[in-house]
Amino acid sequence: MKNCKTLLLFIGFLTAVFTGCDKEREPEPELTKPTISEVEIGLGNNEIGVIGKDFHFNAEVLAGDKIENVQVKIVPQSDETYEKAWEFEVTWEQYRGAKNATVHKHFDIPEEAAEGKYDFLIIVNDQNGTMLEEKREINIYKAENLPVNPTLSLLTINNNGTFFYRNGEFTVDPAKVSKDDKFSAQATIDGVKGDGQMYLLLINKKLQHRPESIDQIDFEKAIVLDVYEHKDWEEGGSFSNAVFDENTFTWVRRISQLDIGAANDNNALEANPIDGAKSWESGTYYFGVLYKNTTYNMSYFEYLEFGVDGF
């Protein structure tokens, strides 16, 4: 009986010891996973890719600890049929070690891609061992099968009544304009129908604002040279901010002119005095052509640079 009591006391002692150890053991902290925001897939976030053409991707990444890498994968959907097997993957290593990053990338959709609807996977690997995977959707087209395919076919810039930019190159060297010069431009976008809108902009390069779609324009930084739109075009065609009627041999709409140094710009949609951050200064300026087809959610942009002086 004495031995039984001793054994029971010993078992009780062991139970107390292990119970105490369990109470002292802290649970493992849950690791923080990375997050993403401000995601844009395709130009103007239209979720469209064109075979052989440039593709736009943007995301703000915040690591749980530090970024290991960022990946994009385009993979076929199980319930879709494709003319051939194809998938795509790209990894960006340059963000390794950063806590947060703006991942703004342009890459070509390869020529060997197949048309169709795909899953678009955004993957962020964290140095703490966690991973974020977010799935979106993308439609990939051959250029000839796009509902619209806006492209810039003509850009002519005039300064004081003479050509300043024509046929893809500046006609003066150095390329610059001066205070009180009279500045104007004609832009023509091909391959459009339905509804669409065009902006012609001047932006001081130092402001680091180079929008790639109309929705991104910050009018506190952008000087509007011209804005024009088309509506209810049933047939595809060319859209220009200068319209000439060949039947009557008269201008329906002339291109807008802006004096370099003017107090107000030509934004007819809202008051836009040229002051504050976008006040005229000597330096390098962007000239931008931005177009958005609102019917088909397709965008286009083009930029060039030249000097402004006299301020």
Domain end residue (candidates: 114, 145, 176): 145
Q: What is the CATH number of the domain that holds 132?
A: 2.60.40.2550
Over the chain, what is the mean pLDDT? 92
Q: pLDDT tens for residues 277-289?
A: 999 999 999 999 9
Cα distances (angstroms) measured from residue 252 to each of 167, 240, 241, 244, 245: 24, 11, 10, 5, 6
**Least confident among 50-64, 109-123, 178-192, 261-275:** 261-275
The verdict on 127 and 179 lying in the same domain is no
Q: Return the exposure string of 275-309: e unless at least 16 CB atoms fall within 10 Å of the residue's CB, then b.
A: eeebebeeeebbbbbbbbbebbbbbbbeebebebe
Does any domain span residue 11? no
pLDDT score of 101: 97
pLDDT score of 238: 96
Does any domain span residue 79? yes
Q: pLDDT tens for residues 213-224?
A: 999 999 999 999
How many independent structural domains does the chain possess? 2
Q: pLDDT tens for residues 99-118?
A: 999 999 999 999 999 999 99
The verdict on 130 and 200 lying in the same domain is no
Counting residues of the chain whose pLDDT is more than 70, the rounded percentage is 91
The verdict on 244 and 120 lying in the same domain is no
Structure confidence at residue 124 as a pLDDT band (50, 70, 90): very high
| 7 has pLDDT over 70 | no
The residue to which tokens 């952008």 are assigned: 222
Q: Return the exposure string of 183-216: e unless at least 16 CB atoms fall within 10 Å of the residue's CB, then b.
A: bbbbbbbbbbbbebbbbbbbbbeebebebbbbeb
Q: pLDDT tens for residues 239-251?
A: 999 998 888 888 8
> How many CA atoms lie within 13 Å of 228's alpha carbon, on the beta-carbon side?
19
The verdict on 141 and 238 lying in the same domain is no
Does any domain span residue 75? yes
pLDDT score of 246: 83
Does any domain span residue 7? no
The verdict on 242 and 291 lying in the same domain is yes
Residue 217 belongs to domain spanning = 151-309
Pairing of strands 54-62, 100-108: antiparallel
User: Mean per-residue pLDDT for 143-156?
Assistant: 94
Neighbour count for residue 167 (Cβ, 10 Å):
9
The verdict on 211 and 295 lying in the same domain is yes
3-state helix, strand, coil in the chain (%, to 5): 10, 50, 35
User: Mean per-residue pLDDT for 253-263?
Assistant: 95
Q: How far apart are CA 278 and CA 223, in angstroms?
A: 7
Q: How far apart are CA 192 and CA 88, in angstroms?
A: 29
pLDDT score of 276: 96
pLDDT score of 79: 94
The verdict on 91 and 240 lying in the same domain is no
The verdict on 159 and 270 lying in the same domain is yes
Does any domain span residue 50? yes
pLDDT score of 250: 87
Secondary structure (DSSP) of 15-54: HHHHHHHHHHPPPPPPPPPPEEEEEEESGGG--EEEBTSE
pLDDT score of 251: 85
| 93 has pLDDT over 70 | yes
The verdict on 108 and 209 lying in the same domain is no
Q: Which of 168, 200, 162, 199 is nearest to 182 (CA)?
A: 162
| 8 has pLDDT over 80 | no
The verdict on 100 and 169 lying in the same domain is no
The answer to whether 215 and 292 are in contact (CB under 8 A) is yes
pLDDT score of 248: 85
Q: What is the CATH number of the domain that holds 199?
A: 2.60.40.3880
Residues 6+ apart with CB under 8 A from 245: 251, 252
pLDDT score of 159: 98
Q: pLDDT tens for residues 9-36?
A: 555 555 554 555 555 566 777 899 999 9
Q: Tokens in use for 60?
A: 């703000």
